[in-house]
């Protein structure tokens, strides 16, 4: 058994040292997923494994045998953008774009966690099963994705609009 990447079965690397990130970028030529730090600190390499967001730079590809990996290439393409991709364009959610695929994959995983009721550092009531889609919650939950260009406000607006939270402008009113 190999790894399923965006719906296609892919062979595992022979060398167990190959990270999931390098498998995607160097072997499969899926260069949407980015290598920022290669040490878990930036989030640029975020992908979804069975719907959960993880860092592909700290993952050995062999660990993910039989699992289903979704990268930015699997979320949308030029003819049919993912709603978040469209929202990032509309809200200036990027400048250089290097962090963007990681931001978008992360946000897709994030919203599932929020809907499931996973608490965050800013969740006031741990006993609550429904957690508000507030800006503070979204910001904290996206804090594993850094943006060197400082596009955070646009990123937050794109995510907030797509997932029905208040936007920056509304919060400021």
Ligand X SMILES: Cc1cc2nc3c(=O)[nH]c(=O)nc-3n(C[C@H](O)[C@H](O)[C@H](O)COP(=O)(O)OP(=O)(O)OC[C@H]3O[C@@H](n4cnc5c(N)ncnc54)[C@H](O)[C@@H]3O)c2cc1C
Indicate whether 150 belongs to the interface with other proteins (CB under 8 A): no
Of 76, 39, 73, which Cα lies nearest the Cα of 55? Answer: 39
In the three-class reduction of DSSP (H, G, I as helix; E, B as strand; rest coil), residue 10 is classed as strand
Binding-residue pattern over the window 74 to 103 for other proteins, x denoting contact by CB under 8 A: ------------------------------
CB of 168 to ligand X, least distance (A): 27
In the three-class reduction of DSSP (H, G, I as helix; E, B as strand; rest coil), residue 55 is classed as strand
Of 106, 97, 6, 1, which Cα lies nearest the Cα of 47? Answer: 106
Distance between CA 75 and CA 72 in Å, rounded? 5
**Cβ proximity to ligand FES, 47 vs 131, nearer residue:** 47
Using alpha carbons only, what angle is made at residue 44 by residues 42 and 46, rounded to the nearest 5 degrees?
105
Q: Which does 51 bind (CB under 5 to 8 A by kind): ligand X, ligand FES, other proteins, none?
A: none
**Cβ proximity to other proteins, 20 vs 28, nearer residue:** 20
Q: Which does 52 bind (CB under 5 to 8 A by kind): ligand X, other proteins, ligand FES, none?
A: other proteins
**Cβ proximity to other proteins, 39 vs 80, nearer residue:** 39
Contacting positions for ligand X (CB under 6 A): 40-41
111-137 residues labelled b (16+ CB within 10 A) or e (exposed): bebbeeeeebeebeeeeeeebebbbeb
Q: Which residues contact 168 (CB under 8 A, 6 or more apart)?
A: 135, 153, 156, 157, 160
CB of 57 to ligand FES, least distance (A): 3
Q: Which does 29 bind (CB under 5 to 8 A by kind): other proteins, ligand FES, ligand X, none?
A: none
Q: Which does 132 bind (CB under 5 to 8 A by kind): ligand X, ligand FES, other proteins, none?
A: none
Q: Which residue is nearest to ligand X (CB)?
A: 40
């Amino acid at each position: 058994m190999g790894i399923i990447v965006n719906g296609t079965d892919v062979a595992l690397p022979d060398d167990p040292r190959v990270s999931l990130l390098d498998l995607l970028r160097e072997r499969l030529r899926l260069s949407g997923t980015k290598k920022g730090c290669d040490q878990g600190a930036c989030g640029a390499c975020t992908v979804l494994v069975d719907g959960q967001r993880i860092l592909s730079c700290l993952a050995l590809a062999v660990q993910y045998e039989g699992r289903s990996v979704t990268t930015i290439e699997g979320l949308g393409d030029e003819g049919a953008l993912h709603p978040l991709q469209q929202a990032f364009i509309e809200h200036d959610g990027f400048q250089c774009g290097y962090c963007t695929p990681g931001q978008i994959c992360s946000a897709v995983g994030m919203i599932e966690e929020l809907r499931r009721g996973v608490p965050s550092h800013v969740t006031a009531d741990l006993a609550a099963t429904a957690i508000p889609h507030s800006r503070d919650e979204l910001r904290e939950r996206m804090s594993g994705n850094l943006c060197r260009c400082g596009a955070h406000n646009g990123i937050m607006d794109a995510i907030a609009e797509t997932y029905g939270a208040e936007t920056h402008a509304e919060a400021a009113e």
